[in-house]
């Protein structure tokens, strides 16, 4: 559709994201919800509840068993705790994380052959469960839904190329929502 377009997927330096969008070194950013900023436009792409992946052989899991279990967690950025751990700690809960990975797929493959649990947004779980032998466990986790947004500088709001790109990204998420239950 656009043979001259160049895309890059990389770890964000959130401290520099606003300035990189303002300078034009970044055109569009896809990330979890960030605090609003006057010069940055955003659009919600998807909101998802959390669920748990476990090995297919794992017995029934309730919330007490969840807290007592060993866990894998995904930390794509250099931060001390995952989103789900921050939320659990705020509510007075603690879980034992024995494995940290940068990608959900890596963590899910390890979970499939271990006693670890992996907490992740449901769309990722649904996708991973199609190719990795894991079981999706629905628990009433006290973790707020997570949301993915796209961000761009407001000065580029009417840019026809960036408008086209935003529409393409939006369509990908609309299609994903229609084929993957949340």
Alpha-carbon distances of 41 from 56, 105, 161, rounded to whole Å: 42, 30, 16
Write the pLDDT tens digit of every residue in 62-102.
999 999 999 999 986 666 778 888 899 999 999 999 999 98
Write the pLDDT tens digit of every residue in 82-93.
888 889 999 999
- Tell me, what's the pLDDT at 126? 92
Give the dihedral of Cα atoms 69, 116, 72, 177; nearest 10 deg: -100
**pTM for the full predicted model:** 0.75
- pLDDT category of residue 15 using cuts at 50, 70 and 90: confident
Write the pLDDT tens digit of every residue in 127-168.
999 999 999 999 888 898 888 899 999 999 999 999 999 999
Token digits of residue 153: 């500088």
């Amino acid at each position: 559709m656009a043979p001259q377009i160049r895309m890059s997927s990389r770890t964000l330096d959130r401290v520099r994201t606003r300035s990189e969008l303002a300078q034009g070194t970044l055109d569009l950013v896809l990330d979890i919800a960030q605090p609003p900023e006057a010069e940055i436009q955003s659009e919600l792409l998807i909101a998802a509840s959390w669920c748990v992946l476990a090995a297919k052989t794992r017995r029934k899991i309730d919330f007490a068993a969840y807290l007592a279990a060993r866990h894998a967690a995904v930390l794509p950025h250099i931060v001390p705790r995952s989103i789900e751990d921050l939320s659990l700690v705020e509510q007075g809960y603690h879980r034992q994380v024995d494995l940290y990975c940068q990608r959900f797929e890596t963590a899910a493959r390890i979970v499939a052959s271990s006693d670890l649990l992996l907490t992740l947004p449901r769309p990722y779980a649904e996708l991973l469960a199609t190719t990795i032998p894991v079981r999706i466990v629905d628990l009433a986790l006290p973790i707020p839904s997570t949301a993915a947004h796209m961000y761009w500088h407001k000065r580029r709001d009417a840019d026809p190329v960036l408008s086209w790109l935003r529409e393409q990204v939006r369509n990908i998420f609309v299609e994903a929502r229609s084929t993957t239950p949340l």
